Chains A and B, each alone.
Chain A
Amino acid sequence: MKRNNVIFTLGAFLVLLAGFFAPSIVTNPFYFFAGYVVVQYIVIATGWNVLGGYAGYINFGAAAFFGSGVYLSAFLFNTFGVPLWIGIIAAAALGALLGLAMGYLTLQIQGVYFAIATLGLVIVLETIVHNLPGLGGARGMAVYGPAPPAWSGGPVQYVFFVILIIAVACVALARWIEHSWIGRGLRAVRASEDAAECSGVPTLKLKLVACSISGAMLAAAGAPYPFYTNFIEPVTAFSLLIGLNAIAMPLIGGTRSWAGPIIGAIVLASAQQIATVTISSELNILFVGVVLIAFVALAPNGLLGLAKRKSAGASK
């Protein structure tokens, strides 16, 4: 365990270092544009998995949290000139609050109801944003970010580094949860909620903690987005595709461990990025649909589960 921690910390540090120096090695900005999307989905998938993978509570509404993060940081910047890092903290706080409220309202009910209630949250929040003129309503908001710091190498390189920091922080947190008493408790909840409750696991408290952490990560993923696109509007901020990818990526990678969502996000988001600039047609979305069906049918525990099964078969 201890040695693993050292390796993980070292790995995280190396990733950040690589991200910091990347702009001086990789001169082509395209890789930062595409890379941003991939890393953003690592954050989303990791955040989703804290509740969905560890506790088994399906959140259809990742876009609700993501979108509120997007809008909060954009609003704070446009009206008060609040810098991005405060925007990220504020977004995480809002996401945690939303998650907590959502948890209080719905966690007493069974899993599927929870999933549907979260879907509802997306629509309610999107409707609210549509009707608030201060947030630009349907016309959206242009966000012309400040000049990036000189060391960053450019605006897109800068937001890429920012989302990379968020990703490393979220993955570290998710990994810690997984190995701590929270993770053990959540696994008990997933296996059987009643049994866990009977054996003295504080299930409701655990679920609320998971809800808030998950919500905070999802909202933090949205905070740098306005500075990536320079323009936000409700339809893309609350897009169904975000909620869909948030579920699909952990599922593809494997929901049992922190590495699963990362693998899933890298595989699926890169495939989507490549498909966008190669296949360029309906086939792109068709591809996502087929991949989803294939994974559910053939590899229900994701790539990690598949790898485990392979190695178990080999050792036999």
Chain B
Amino acid sequence: MTTRRQFNKLATLGTLGLAAPTILSSKAFAADKPIKIGASVSLTGPLASTRAGEIGYELWRDDVNAAGGLLGRKVEFVIYDDQSSASNVPAIYSKLVDVDKVDVLISPYGANLSAPLMPFIKQRNLFMVGMFALAGNDRARSDKYFHACPWGPDSMLGWPRGFFDIAKSINAKRIAIINSDLEFSSSAAQGGNQIAKEYGMEVVMNQSYPPNTSDFSAILRNINNVAPDAVFVCSYPADSAAIIRGVKEIGINDSVQIFGGSMIGPQYGSLLGSLGEDLNGLVNITTFVPAPTLESPGIERFFERYTPIAIKEKLDPLGFYIPPFYYVAGQIIEAGIKGSQSVDTAKMAQYLHSHAIDTIVGKVAFNDIGDWTKRRTLMIQVQNVKGNDINQFREPGKQVILSPEELKSGNLITPYNAARKAS
């Protein structure tokens, strides 16, 4: 009995402790081998609309390899389809780490798919770039986790804060909150509730609705009935479309000054095109829009190459929301490797924690749990859209930035009913 136990213990030590140094030393001799990056992408299932991000990975990889690779080694991606299901994630990432022996990881899309990984990367001491998960590392507190998205510190509250800052600036007191019964929107709604309390606002209505709701007339009538000053909407693409349509059909109370906040969908080309001018007046969160305050040669060059590929592959033709940050994920790894002159993940993490890095979306610095030290989500208002031509959204002035202050590119129109008509 004792011998077996000792044998097992030894084996445990072998896998947990001894394995890491062996891998490291073998890496040192492998200067000619490519650097492998492992990730899963939701090619199928409900999150399949996020797959346009993969183009971001490919463009970055091609750029790096064209410039001679990292530390003289080529860069290679190993990507699997997680089918948008968290139950596939543990096995996929174990395959990436234990069989494919990738050097660094990039997380799947969003909090639901990333959450199963957090104890794993912490236990195994792995380096991972986080993709779009709100508060992804708040609980595990891994020091080798770096977020590619601009949620900023304390992202659970940071995400809704932009909307409530605007609400506060126009003296809104009564808030209605509606959200879809899915992870991302529930988190946003909960954050919204907390900030409303913090700002001394009254939440006069707080309703959640199931995914795949197609008729919002009952909810909109309830909103009209309580006559709020602001409506904070946390929705997913299909419901976002139905809500915008519902507002047009049912009408909205004149008391409502601003409407929107956390609607996923009107960032994607397909919905921007199909809803078109019905989106006018909407105040919503996003990560990137064409605006003079956000222009840079890097991002311009990115979209020059992204657009033709996306159109050819029937993916999001605009690609403002997700793809640039998939490129940024690569740039974080690039900065870590180049900065520390090694693929030792501890050294990479140390470098990234102590240096701000340049990306196509601007300068980025990380705090101790890998969140951006400064939130850079955008609060925009849709203005001056005419008809349903998708290409008009490539011009500045259609989605003007209201917040953050230093990127501001236009002024808020209130109330919502006036903003809907102004064009």
Contact = CB atoms under 8 A, between A and B. Distances in A.
A280 B43 contact: yes
Given A33-B91, A277-B95, A282-B44, A241 B81 contact: no
Contacts, number: 130
Contact of A155 (B11, B81, B123, B180): B123
A190 interface: no
Contact of B87 (A32, A144, A236): A236
Contact of B186 (A28, A139, A230, A239): A139
Interface stretch (A1-9, A146-154, A176-184): A146-154
A33 B116 CA distance: 12
Contacts of A21: 4
Given A142-B139, A144-B119, A276-B92, A150 B12 contact: yes
Contacts of B210: 127, 130
B63 interface: no
Given A276-B88, A282-B43, A285-B83, A142 B12 contact: no
Contacts of B12: 23, 150, 153-154
A24 B95 CA distance: 19
B159 to A, nearest CB: 13
B369 interface: no
Interface string B33-52: 00000000001100000000
Contacts of B87: 37, 229, 236, 239
Interface string B105-138: 0000000100110111001000000000000000
B95 A30 contact: yes
B92 A230 contact: no
Main secondary structure on A side of the interface with B: helix
B11 A23 contact: yes
Given A229-B116, A284-B44, A138 B183 contact: yes
B72 interface: no
Contacts of A154: 12, 15-16
Contacts of B15: 27, 29, 153-154
Contacts of A155: 119, 123
A19 interface: no
A137 interface: yes
Contacts of B185: 138
A78 interface: no
A110 interface: no
Contacts of A152: 8
Interface in A132-173: 137-140, 142, 144, 150-156
A36 B89 CA distance: 13
A287 to B, nearest CB: 12
Contacts of B4: 21, 151
A34 interface: yes
Interface in B1-44: 4-5, 7-12, 14-16, 19, 43-44
Contact of B8 (A24, A34, A277): A24
B8 A229 contact: no
B94 A29 contact: yes
Q: How many residues of B sit at the interface, in one of the four size bands?
A: 35 or more
A241 B183 contact: no
A239 B181 CA distance: 16
Nearest to A35: B91
A286 to B, nearest CB: 10
A13 to B, nearest CB: 16
Given A130-B181, A276-B83, A151 B8 contact: yes
A315 interface: no
Contacts of A236: 85-87
A140 B123 contact: no
B115 A230 contact: yes
A229 B85 contact: no
Contact of A138 (B85, B92, B182): B182
A111 B56 CA distance: 51
Contact of B81 (A130, A151, A281): A281
Nearest to A232: B86
Interface in A11-30: 21, 23-24, 27-30
B186 A30 contact: no
A118 B91 CA distance: 30
A137 B9 contact: no
A249 B71 CA distance: 49
A150 B8 CA distance: 8
Given A24-B11, A236-B85, A285-B44, A142 B99 contact: no
A142 B180 CA distance: 20
Contacts of A27: 11, 14-15, 19
B151 to A, nearest CB: 16
Given A23-B12, A144-B139, 5 more contacts: A23-B11, A233-B183, A277-B80, A277-B95, A281-B44
Interface of A: 21, 23-24, 27-30, 32-34, 36-37, 127, 130, 137-140, 142, 144, 150-156, 228-231, 233, 235-236, 239, 241, 273, 276-277, 280-282, 284-285
What 9 pairs across the A-B complex have the smallest Cβ distances? A231-B115, A33-B94, A280-B81, A24-B11, A30-B98, A33-B91, A229-B116, A30-B94, A138-B181
16 contacts: A24-B10, A28-B99, A30-B99, A33-B94, A130-B181, A140-B183, A151-B9, A153-B8, A156-B94, A229-B86, A273-B91, A277-B91, A277-B92, A284-B83, A285-B44, A285-B83
